[in-house]
Amino acid sequence: MTLTELIAQIQESAELIGPNVYLQAAIIVVSFILIGKVADWIISGIIGRFARQSSNDFDDQMVDLVHRPVFMSFVLLGLALGTRRIGLPDVTTFITVGILKTIAIFVWYNTIMQLMSLVVRVFSKSRERKIVQTGMLSLLHNVMKVVVVALTVYFLFLAWKIDVTAWLASAGIVGLALSFAAKDTLSNLFAGVSIVMDAPYKAGDFIILDSGERGLVTDIGLRSTRILTRDDVEITVPNGIIGNGKIINEAGGPPAQHRIRVGVGVAYGSDIDNVIEVLASVAADHPDVLKNPEPRVRFRVFGESSLNFELLGWIAKPVDRGRVTHELNCAVYKALNKHNIQIPFPQRDLHVISMPETSN
C-alpha cells in the first residue's frame, strides 16, 4: 500500500466516526502518530538491532539520527491533514500547513547535515581511502552543504507556493553578472576542483611553491590552500595560483621518505677512500637517517680548490630536513677534523711572468 492510499483510507475511516470534523481531525492526527510510532519502532527496534550487531558504530549512529525525523514527519503530516479536515478559512489553512511544512523541511535539513558530518567522520578515520588521501572529502563536504542549502530554499518556496520560475530566471541573470565580477573566485574554485581531482599533493604533504615558500599542507579548500611553514606561519594561497604554477611535492612519489644531500669539499691530496668511509660513518651513526634505503657517498666533481663529495641519505619525514641537514653538517665537520682531513678555502695561484721595468 502506498502512502497516498494509506492517507485516503485513514480519511475514509475518520469519516465513519461521525459528522464532527474536529473528531475526524483528531482521529487522523492520532492515527498518524501511531503510524509514526510503528515506523519509529521498526527503524530503532528491528533495524537498530541488526545495526548493533555490526562491527562499526556507523549504522548505529545513522539509525539514531533517522528514526526521530521519520516519526516527526508522520506527526506533521497528520497535523496537516487534520487541519485540512477541519475546514478552516483558506488563509488560515494555508499558513498553518505552510508552517508545518517548514518545520518538516528544517527537521530533515538538520538530519541530512548531521548525516553528512557523520559520513565525513567515518571516512576521515579510514586513511586508506583515496578520497581522504587526496583531500577530496572536505571539498565534497562543502559542495554537499551548498547543495543541501539550495534544495532547502527551493522546498521552502514550494511549501509557501512561491513561483520559483521568476526566481530562477533572476538567479541566472544575477549569476551571469556575478561570474564576471567574481571571475578570480571562480577561477580559484575550478582550480581547487582540479587540484583535488588531479591530486598533485594532499593534506599532510610538504610542498615548495614557485615563490620559494615551503611548508605543510594543512587544508585544501574550495578557494585556497593553506600551508604551514617551518616558522609556524600559515600561508593562504589561492588555488588559481597553485593550479597554474610549478609545485614541488617533497612527500610525493610511492614512499613518504625524503632524501637530503650534504655537500663537502676536501683538499687535493686527501685519501678519497678515507673520506668516503668517514662520511658514510657519519650517516650511519645518525638516528634519523634511514638504513633502508642505505645512505651513500658520491665523489661528484674536481673543483677549483677541492675534491667535492656529496653525502646522500633518506629521512622519514620531509619536515625534519632542515634539522637533520644541520646535524649532519656539524657531524661531518667534526669527523673530518678528527681524521685530519682538510676542508680547503677557495684559493688562487698568481704567477708573475714579468715585472714592468722601472726607470731610475
Q: Could you tell me how far CA 235 lies from the centroid of its own chain?
A: 17
Length of the chain: 360
CATH class (in words) of the domain with range 200-249: mainly beta
Backbone angles phi, psi at 224, to 5 degrees: -150, 170
Q: What is the pLDDT of residue 306?
A: 93
Q: Could you tell me how far CA 183 lies from the centroid of its own chain?
A: 24
pTM, two decimal places: 0.60
What is the identity of the amino acid at 92? Answer: T
Q: What's the mean pLDDT when you consider all of the chain?
A: 84
In this predicted structure, the answer to whether residue 99 has a pLDDT above a threshold of 90 is yes
Could you tell me the pLDDT band of residue 1, with boundaries at 50, 70 and 90?
Answer: low
Q: What is the pLDDT of residue 124?
A: 73
Q: What share of the chain is helix, strand, coil (3-state, %, to 5)?
A: 60, 15, 30
Q: Which architecture characterizes domain 258-338 according to CATH? A: 2-Layer Sandwich (3.30)
